[in-house]
Each structure stands twice: as structure tokens, then as C-alpha cells.
Amino acid sequence: MKADIRELQQAFDHAELHADTNRLNALLADDFMSIGERGYLLDKRQWIDRHADFAYLSLTTTELDVRRYDRAAIVRCVQRSRATWRGEVMTLTVRLSQVWTELPDGWRLAGIQFSSLDPV
């Protein structure tokens, strides 16, 4: 069902907002890969470890679209956030897509990709 993927996406956002690295470790597939809005890559460990220098102040997800397939789901949305990176405050507006996959031990986020949008 699409509802369970929406719940996982919300759990991921909550874990990101609160830097819950234990929850992120459980939600991300072992071979997780992120592609940032400037093309940089982060694997699972790098993604989780970035919370040492990065913190969300606010995170809002809109325009959520979930497409469910056999053992995979694609989530597309727009996120607006305020965050700090190494003490610098930044405001981001991005379109992102997430790829979730059903593994033997449950659903995991396998990939995420960001594209910058003009702030609105």
C-alpha cells in the first residue's frame, strides 16, 4: 500500500529533522546512495555521519507523490528546509526522489536524489 511508504517517508523526515542516527541506520539500505543537488555522492555511513556538521532547523515536505511497484516504491516531493552546515545557516528548496525497496527484513531507503529549485 502507498500508505506504508508514506509512513516510512515521514519516519525518514522525522529522523533527519532530529538527527536520529539510530533510526536512519535502520531505515537506510546497506548499499544506500545519495546524489546531492550538485552531483556529490554519499553512501550510508557518510549520510549518517554528516549529522556531525549538519542539522535541520525546519523541514517541510509537500507535493508528495508515491508510486508503488512490486517490491519497490518511488517517492517524489518538494522539500523546504532551514539547516546549518558547519555553523552556517542555509535555506534550501529541493525536488527530491527516493527509491524504497522491500528487502527480506523490511522496506529500506536505497537511494535519494536532490535537484535544487528556486526558493518560493
pLDDT of residue 120: 59
List the domain boundaries for the chain: 2-116
> Which band of pLDDT confidence, cut at 50, 70 and 90, is reported for residue 119?
low
Q: Which CATH architecture has domain 2-116?
A: Roll (3.10)
From the list 10, 13, 19, 44, the residue with the least C-alpha distance to 29 is: 44
Mean pLDDT taken over the chain: 94
Backbone phi, psi, residue 104, to 5°: -55, -30
pLDDT of residue 118: 80
pTM for the whole thing?
Answer: 0.91
Instruction: Please count the other Cβ atoms lying within 10 Å of the Cβ belonging to residue 94.
Output: 16
Indicate whether 108 pLDDT > 70. yes
Q: What percent of the chain has pLDDT over 70?
A: 97
CA angle 77, 84, 75 (to 5 degrees): 15
